[in-house]
Structure 1
């Protein structure tokens, strides 16, 4: 028997106002006068105060990225080409500043600068051959766990699937809870629920072990303090819940909600957070206690979960979503164990989608 040998983020800074340390962190990577850094910044920050605080030097490359749509292999390849056209040498670091989608783009670009071919070639588990360029993640929305995870989730030509590898993990993260102030209530809720759902799926999964359980239980407690108790330090707590939720699935796996949500995101374009909420709301047969608590949080924060989005869709559209969801073998194994293929039928998945 062999045990999982996974990599976690080696360096991290946590604390309100810690974004100021980014320049110092980058100065350690800048060794010569022509070294440059690539900043991938969510375009919601363009012309906002945070944009003026990004420590860009004259010869650096700052790209505002749009993540209105889910990140795609096409977008990653275009960004990689833009960096390569800017300078023939590698940047000393790629910095992602934004929500989970922006962080995933930064991880993916840092990988594609050192691995030949298009990013769609590397969708899957442990297909990356060469270490990435040094990369830093700075979340401005909390919940996805992208800052902690070994995946960069992308919509590709065939399906939505991550670049899952030890090389994907950030070299450095900065968790400054001041940066998540001002996120819209809906965004704050949907993204935070991604974290809560990570924990539910981890704790109910067949892959559960004390490592995953310890992180998931603490992350779930923090989510309750944020979304049920409105704790005074809720931004700090959500930031740590997000990190711990990401760590909880590092040694286990997500489950039914994420598998079904991938189909929803790939075919209908729903963002990951809201997609998870739409799916989770119909999974009471899988996670009865989690769904009940989720609905309590939805009601408390006056969140509207879209309904009826799949009711009248053509059968072939539903079939496409079913195909994507069904391809998530490791996730379904976490739900049902090694005999998952007997349980995960087209009929079962079709019925779930038709309820959304």
Structure 2
């Protein structure tokens, strides 16, 4: 057997207030007069308590991007092409925000050095050239985007990541103070992304001791935060940030499963955000993850979170078929969930029935 030699994030700094070390951390990577580009969630545009702390120098630039929609290949290409036209190259790309901003930063970094469109690299190990130096600074926790080797993009034909050895960040800055004021629902949806990562990884056919060790810790932290604690505090932020880190690591040598495969279809067709899409799907997956779904429903009730219903009620046959196409394409996810004979269970008719429940 040939084992995959996966890359990890090269450098990690963790601790309350460590965001203020960003200038010192990136300084050795500055290349002459070439700028650092900060890709920042536009929700922070008028919030000087964060923007005022971004260590701009020389020709460094902040690019504000909306997280209302998940990253698209055309958005990645537009940003990368503008940067190449304006500066030629950059010293680095720094993402500040939730999973969408981190994925956007990873993708732009890769497209600074690789030809063509980012849509050309949606798949596994298609990127052949290292990207620009890139840094991830999460302001939401749960997606695991800060440590994963993929950057999930919606392209013309599918929603699929640029999954490669060159995708992981060179540096991440994990400052729990930055996630303190996340809106309750958004914090829950991203937290559930982490919890669902764990359930899918720990029950999957790809499970191994490496993945299990990270997944069990992340799952333990999620259950403590969302089931055992009675109020949200700084300790909750600290633990959710570490759950996200461990949850992301748990799928480095494993894979996600049914919930993610189906939620990709929702996202591609309806634009449903990843975290809430996973929640909408997972709410109906007792058949596959009975214990995990039971605990999920308890978390939803405890935190009084609304999970949308009936979002597929008015879809046409053609729209259902497109969602099914997107979901069926994600073969590694289905194989992890159900084994090599997954097609015996997952038919187009089965997927149609499952989507009709949502």
Interval containing the TM-score (normalised by the shorter chain) = over 0.9
Q: Does 1:337 align with 2:339?
A: yes
- What is aligned with 1:173? 172
Partner of 1:53, secondary structure, is: coil
Structure 1 portions without partners, runs of 5+:
none
**Distance between the aligned counterparts of 1:61 and 1:228, measured in 2?**
42
Structure 1 position 36, deviation (Å): 1.5
Task: Report Cα offsets for 1:94-116 as digits up to 9, x if no partner.
Answer: 10000000000000000001000
Structure 1 position 344, deviation (Å): 1.3
Task: Report Cα offsets for 1:7-64 as digits up to 9, x if no partner.
Answer: 11010000111101100011111253x1311110110111101011000113112101
Partner of 1:167, secondary structure, is: coil
Correspondence for 1:241 among 229, 235, 243: 243
Structure 1 position 170, deviation (Å): 0.2
Partner of 2:153, secondary structure, is: strand
Give the conservation status (yes or no) of the 8 Å contact 2:34–2:87: no
Give the conservation status (yes or no) of the 8 Å contact 2:263–2:277: yes
**Distance between the aligned counterparts of 1:194 and 1:304, measured in 2?**
15
Which range is displaced more, 158-167 or 224-233?
224-233
Task: Report Cα offsets for 1:215-267 as digits up to 9, x if no partner.
Answer: 00000111112112237401000000001000000000000000000000000
Which range is displaced more, 254-263 or 308-317?
308-317
- What is aligned with 2:65? 65
- What is aligned with 2:284? 282
Aligned counterparts, 1:151-190, within 5 A? 151-190=150-189
Aligned counterparts, 1:311-350, within 5 A? 311-350=313-352
RMSD: 0.9
Structure 1 position 66, deviation (Å): 1.0
Give the conservation status (yes or no) of the 8 Å contact 2:147–2:169: yes
Q: After TM superposition, which residue ranges in structure 1, 4 or more long, deviate above 6 angstroms?
A: none
Aligned counterparts, 1:212-223, within 5 A? 212-223=211-222
TM-score (norm 1): 0.98
**Distance between the aligned counterparts of 2:87 and 2:31, measured in 1?**
16
**Distance between the aligned counterparts of 1:80 and 1:280, measured in 2?**
35
- What is aligned with 2:92? 93
Task: Report Cα offsets for 1:280-308 as digits up to 9, x if no partner.
Answer: 00001000000000000000111010001
Task: Report Cα offsets for 1:166-185 as digits up to 9, x if no partner.
Answer: 10000000000000011100
TM-score (norm 2): 0.97
Aligned counterparts, 1:113-192, within 5 A? 113-192=112-191
**Distance between the aligned counterparts of 1:30 and 1:335, measured in 2?**
43
Q: Does 1:19 align with 2:54?
A: no
**Distance between the aligned counterparts of 2:31 and 2:7, measured in 1?**
26
- What is aligned with 1:204? 203
Structure 1 position 75, deviation (Å): 0.4
**Distance between the aligned counterparts of 1:115 and 1:265, measured in 2?**
26
Partner of 1:7, secondary structure, is: coil
Aligned counterparts, 1:14-93, within 5 A? 14-32=14-32, 34-48=33-47, 49-88=49-88, 90-93=89-92
